[in-house]
Chain A
Amino acid sequence: MSRRDLVPVGLLAIVLFVGSRLSARFLDAPYLLDTLNLYVEAGLLATGMTFVIVCGEIDLSVASTTVLVACVVSKFLGPETNPVVLVAMSVAIGSLLGLVNGALVTIGRVPSFLATLATMATYRGVAQAWLGPFSAKWPVMKGLDRAHLGNSPVPWPPVIWLLVAGAAGLVLHRTVFGRQVAAVGTNAIASRFSGLPVERTQLAVFALSGAMAGLAAVFLGSRLGVVRHDLGRGLELDAITAVVVGGTSILGGQGSMAGTVAALLLVAAAKTAMGVAGVKPEVQVTVVGVLLVLAVLAGNMAGLARRKAPTQA
């Protein structure tokens, strides 16, 4: 059992402590909760990405998928709409785009890194060709246009993300599907020889990742009120960073949803703490990059110490 997902939790505690030393205005619950809103999209993408990476693949197209879904949906739905329709449509289109990635990987046999590199450009390209230089108004969701749960300072998007991530964690760790994802990620050949539906599992994780990207589009759209083709650039790297810092092996097979969530909170806390302390964004970027490498390094060192046994045993 991997304990690597405890690394981000430890780091998170340190960041929160250091953050509170840097600025008295950092540990302010309503503010922190509010800031968390900004990381919901990355969080959803990371949730889907965890499945993809555990399955031994990677999906670089998620941010582009989010943007394309947002553009398509905002073109099709009126200024006001039923939230259920909106979410269903976004998730459906996202899944479809994810399935295209999956088909390229399973049927086209293009390595996922390249397939999704190509769709990353293509999806955003379609969005740009479609919307052109203009913004599209995002439909207002009737009944869900308030940003907070009741009268509490708790904003609903992060809560929904945590619920989705929790459910996704259960799926990953406690269901047949999750077991199949881990098996395929560990060794696709042996999985096929054991009668697991390898291609279907791969298709499913890409569809799932696309679905999460679709859901992220809902949050992105409702947060900004408008959507454009150039939103969310680099969000895929944030998602991958969270997954990897969270202790999921980039080689596939082993992963933890809790780790992903903790790592995303870690990145959010670190950026916010630095932002409030007046650290320049360019320094923040450097620190987050270093943090990524350090977190994995720390996990590696712990892992190395734990098992020195060579694989040929």
Chain B
Amino acid sequence: MLRTLIVAGAIVGILAAGCGPAPADKPTSETPGGAGSKLRIVFVPKSAGNPYFAEVSKGLEKAAKELGATVETQAPTTADATSQVTTIKDAVQRGCDLLVISANAPDTLNDVLDEARKKGVTVVTVDSDITGNETHRDASVLPVDQEKVGPALVESLASLTGSEGEFAILSAATDAPNQNKWIAGMKETLKNPKYSKLKLVDTVYGDDEMQKSTTEMEALLTKYPNLRAVVSPTSVGMGAAAQVLETSGRYPGGPKANGTGIVLTGLATPNQLKKAVEKGVVTKFHLWSPAEMGEIAAHLGSMLHSKKVTADVGKTFDVPGMGTKTFVDKGVVYVGPLTTFDKSNIANFDF
């Protein structure tokens, strides 16, 4: 009992002692950046160790240089829904004017984002939005018009397969909102009679883990002997799928191709697939420019923060060097069309 008291006393004592001088430089009073002070941008990606977000970061830094702002990237070590909460709280406490975040889950950040905004922080989501909870952020910069990704993927698939045969989708987690939206878009597009011979046989989930994605991809090859194609709208999934096709030799022209072989397309960062493209395992795939996304987010955020623009439908703003961007519904801005990577251009990219 005595020990408990000692411990409790020590804690209270330390807290009390520590809190003494704090009011002198009460952080909350100076958090909202005045017009004259440097804009402080904090970027919270989904998780650490992902070069895709390193590209976004690069774009942010480029814009920050132009804006005279500072950028700091704080990536949680695990990509789960709660890990970003701590990171955001600490960033806000340290001092931040513009929070750029790629949300891991659509609905767990509401409180912490509200709190940040109450303290004068502008919140812009990039890459993945908090769908269904848009009121808790100021604006969102998304890669491409979500509605256009599905059709684009189907079209790419059709051009590679001659619009016929069985195909499967290898996605990330079952609850990744972007992925699900794109898959829904693909299914919608497939209803078009011109794709009637393309048959989606299965959708599997690799959780964006190499091992899981590989196992799922291998299982697909076993389950569907007549498989003609695989679409994977995620980097890790495509990387794993390419690896499996190469190992099993079932890519078009591979040693075990059984006729035309299995084609692979989807969305991925180019570095991941350079070798596969060079070897002919993969013909083409797509992605937008993550760096541009970061650049737009920084400029837009800075304008929102200084109230130079409001995120209303149809309002437009200019991004230096990228022309005019328009807000669509719910404060969303799209970056632009998909880039296609193939043998001819892949060497020019490094991310």
Show the binding face of A for B, using Cβ within 8 Å: 5-6, 9, 12-13, 16, 20, 23-25, 27-29, 31-32, 34-35, 38, 132-135, 166, 169, 173-174, 223-226, 228, 230-234, 256-259, 261-262, 265, 271-272, 275-278, 280-282, 285
Residue from A132, A224, A272, A282 whose CB has the most chain B CB atoms within 10 Å: A224
Interface of A is mostly: helix
**When A and B form their complex, which 10 residue pairs have the shortest distance between CB atoms, in order from nearest?**
A275-B90, A133-B175, A133-B174, A27-B18, A29-B19, A25-B27, A258-B4, A258-B7, A226-B107, A224-B108
Q: Does B308 contact A (CB under 8 A)?
A: no
Q: B68-76, B160-168, B238-246, B286-294: which lies at the A interface?
A: B68-76
Pairs A–B under 8 Å by Cβ, sample size 17: A9-B7, A13-B14, A16-B14, A24-B25, A27-B19, A35-B89, A132-B175, A133-B180, A226-B107, A228-B105, A233-B78, A233-B80, A275-B90, A275-B94, A281-B83, A282-B48, A282-B77
Interface of B is mostly: helix
Q: Does B93 contact A (CB under 8 A)?
A: yes
Q: Does B313 contact A (CB under 8 A)?
A: no
Contact partner of B11 among A12, A231, A277, CB < 8 A? A12
Contact A281 B7 (CB under 8 A): no
Show the binding face of B for A, using Cβ within 8 Å: 1, 3-4, 6-8, 10-11, 14-15, 18-19, 21-22, 25-27, 48, 72, 74-78, 80-83, 85-87, 89-91, 93-95, 105-108, 110-111, 173-175, 180
**In whole angstroms, how far apart are the Cα atoms of A278 and B15 in the complex?**
21
Count how many pairs of residues, one from A and one from B, have CB atoms less than 8 Å apart in the complex: 132
Contact A25 B14 (CB under 8 A): no
**Chain A residues within an 8 Å CB radius of B106:** 135
Contact partner of A28 among B3, B27, B85, CB < 8 A? B27
Contact B11 A272 (CB under 8 A): no
**Chain B residues within an 8 Å CB radius of A226:** 107-108
**Chain B residues within an 8 Å CB radius of A256:** 3
Residue from A23, A24, A133, A257 whose CB has the most chain B CB atoms within 10 Å: A133
Contact B110 A278 (CB under 8 A): no
Contact A225 B107 (CB under 8 A): yes
**In whole angstroms, how far apart are the Cα atoms of A35 and B89 in the complex?**
8
**Chain B residues within an 8 Å CB radius of A232:** 82
Contact B173 A278 (CB under 8 A): no
Nearest-CB distance from A197 to chain B (Å)?
26
Nearest-CB distance from B166 to chain A (Å)?
24
**In whole angstroms, how far apart are the Cα atoms of A312 and B78 in the complex?**
47
**Chain A residues within an 8 Å CB radius of B83:** 281
Contact partner of B22 among A12, A16, A28, CB < 8 A? A28
Whose C-beta in chain A lies nearest to the C-beta of B49?
A282
**In whole angstroms, how far apart are the Cα atoms of A166 and B4 in the complex?**
9
